Structures are given as C-alpha cells and as structure tokens.
Amino acid sequence: MSEVKSAGITELQAAISRGERVIDVRELHEFDSGHVPGAIHIPMSVIPVRMNEIEKNEDIWVICQSGNRSGQVTDYLTRHGYPATNVDGGTKAWIAAGFPIEM
C-alpha cells in the first residue's frame, strides 16, 4: 500500500458539516450496529464493482472500524483517480469521542 491521505475524526466532522461524502467499507452487520451519520455503505469487497457510485470530482472520506480496511480502500481509490481520505481510528474513534451515530 502506498502512502494514503489520512485525517482524524475532528477533520471528518468538519468535512461532514461541509457536505462531503463518507463511505463506510465495513460489512453490513458492522454498519447496521452504528455508523457515522449520512455514511454510504459500500463494503470493501465490492468497491471495485461499485466505483461508478462514487464521484471523482468530490472529496471522499473512507471509514471502517479502526482505519485498517479503509486505508486499503483509500489507497485503491486514490490509485484510480479519486480524491479519497482515510479516517484514522475509524468508527471506533468516532464513537469513543462521543460523536453521534445512526443505526
């Protein structure tokens, strides 16, 4: 994996307030147990076949549980020309900081 752009949950919160897109790459049961408000669910395993759902002309924030899977997806998307940022600490850090979640 090459060097990927990453930022923390505070930066993610600011991005959400600007209307930027969040893609949650966890499995469905993880997503359903709580996710960042407004996040779009596209599991890591299907990113290659669902890339047409992601705009290349807008900033994309990629999140998983801890930042590991989302880092891999961010690398993949970046190599394909998408302006993607990995969320360090993932949903786990988001919840630990007391930010709201959707079920």
For residue 29, the surrounding DSSP H or E stretch is helix 28-32
Q: What is the pLDDT of residue 2?
A: 60
**Partners of 4 in the β-ladder:** none
Alpha carbon distance 52, 58 (integer Å): 13
| Threshold 0.75, pTM exceeds | yes
* Mean per-residue pLDDT of the chain: 95
For residue 83, name the pLDDT band (cuts at 50, 70, 90): very high
Report whether pLDDT(69) > 70. Answer: yes
Q: If you classify domain 6-96 with CATH, what class do you get? A: alpha beta
The share of the chain scoring above pLDDT 70, in percent, equals: 98
Domain definitions of the chain by residue range: 6-96
Q: Catalytic: 64?
A: yes
63, 64, 77, 93: the catalytic one is: 64
Contact 8, 89 (CB under 8 A): yes
Q: Which residue type does 59 have? A: D
